[in-house]
Amino acid sequence: NAGVTQTPKFQVLKTGQSMTLQCAQDMNHNSMYWYRQDPGMGLRLIYYSASEGTTDKGEVPNGYNVSRLNKREFSLRLESAAPSQTSVYFCASNEGTLNYGYTFGSGTRLTVV
Q: Site residues (CB under 8 A) for other proteins?
A: 4, 31, 33, 35, 40-45, 48, 50, 58-59, 90, 92, 94, 96-107
User: Length of the chain, please?
Assistant: 113
The number of beta carbons lying within 10 Å of the beta carbon of residue 97 is 8
Find the shortest distance in angstroms from Cβ 41 to other proteins. 7
In terms of CB distance, is 14 or 99 closer to other proteins? 99
Minimum distance, C-beta of residue 102 to other proteins, in the bound complex (Å):
6
In degrees, rounded to 5, the angle at the alpha carbon of residue 90 between the alpha carbons of residues 83 and 12 is: 35
Rounded alpha-carbon distances, angstroms, from residue 59 to 16, 39, 66, 107: 23, 17, 14, 19
18 vs 51, beta carbon nearer other proteins? 51
Complex with other proteins: residue 19 or 88, whichever CB lies closer: 88
